[in-house]
Structure 1
């Protein structure tokens, strides 16, 4: 694994952790709260956003309008069984989720959940870093790269720059 490749993987781990944070409720309605909820749609687990329009008409409500009305009960069931902690209200064409104000106990639960997601992200970054270091050590042992290869490159660039500076 090259350094640029490792940095790219680490950036993706940070972005994945941020997406996980978006699924944690704050007290305002946010459509990303439903990102992790999967609906059993004709035997296949399907994300809600693939089955319905999700909107937030105000700060305390999420509206879910399925493209296919036959999926309405499946979506309602998936939300009820999920760890979102919201009760769906089905009126026959739209599911409404009312976001109640958070209690201090619930806030503490969400803080713990965020800490868990952060720790998972940190572990992913540590694993990527470890793999990159192992890869570099293997390359050093097999003489694909030397420990001083990059120092030598810097010295070459320095020599070139010194030559450019001193040339009249």
Structure 2
């Protein structure tokens, strides 16, 4: 019976790891990549909308992204959303499209990006620990309701801690890989 409950919490932990992986994917090492825009939402007629849904995104060269909205009225909104994001790149608006020029990575910028991915990593670990806490509370309630024994509760605590440790180690491996990628480009 406990195995079914474990699966639910393990799935949640996996989703946390996948979310951090997506965040890491949005951090690019000096190359223009449209995925850096994935998390940016534009206020489009009062609705938060992803840039890719209201504009064509092209990469004319390795260090530039060209964003051309299908509706010219969205241009200012896209520019504002990029400026307010944590992208750290100033958009250049020519009246028809927006250019994002990705600078050559300096040592300082690499260190900023490493800090950013470490923050994402820590956020993922906090999410995983919160899932563990929720799971423990659920198991304690089950024990109080006499659905599981005290021994089963102790076993569940041990298993949840191992699950938490495994997922946190997975996040650390992802972090190491991404740090090496950022520092070697």
The match for 1:157 is none
2:21 corresponds to 1:32: no
1:137, distance to aligned residue in structure 2 (A) = 2.5
| Alignment counterpart, residue 8 of structure 2, candidates 5, 10, 14 | 5
Secondary structure in 2 matching 1:84: coil
Out of 85-94 and 108-117, give the one that drifted further. Answer: 85-94
What is the correspondence of 1:135-154 to structure 2 with a 5 Å cutoff? 135-146=138-149, 147=151
| Alignment counterpart, residue 48 of structure 2, candidates 42, 45, 49 | 45
Deviations 1:39-69 (A, max 9, x none): 2222333221221122223321112121211
Larger Rg: 1
Out of 100-109 and 140-149, give the one that drifted further. Answer: 140-149
Q: Which runs of 5+ in 2 are unaligned?
A: 156-185
2:131 corresponds to 1:128: yes
Secondary structure in 1 matching 2:59: strand
The match for 1:85 is 88
Q: TM-score, normalised by structure 2?
A: 0.72
Q: Which runs of 5+ in 1 are unaligned?
A: 152-168
1:107, distance to aligned residue in structure 2 (A) = 1.0
The match for 2:79 is 76
1:10, distance to aligned residue in structure 2 (A) = 0.4
What is the correspondence of 1:149-168 to structure 2 with a 5 Å cutoff? none
Structure with the largest fraction of helix: 2
Deviations 1:20-50 (A, max 9, x none): 2222231111111112222222233322122
Give the root-mean-square deviation of aligned CA atoms. Answer: 2.2
Moved over 4 A (4+): none
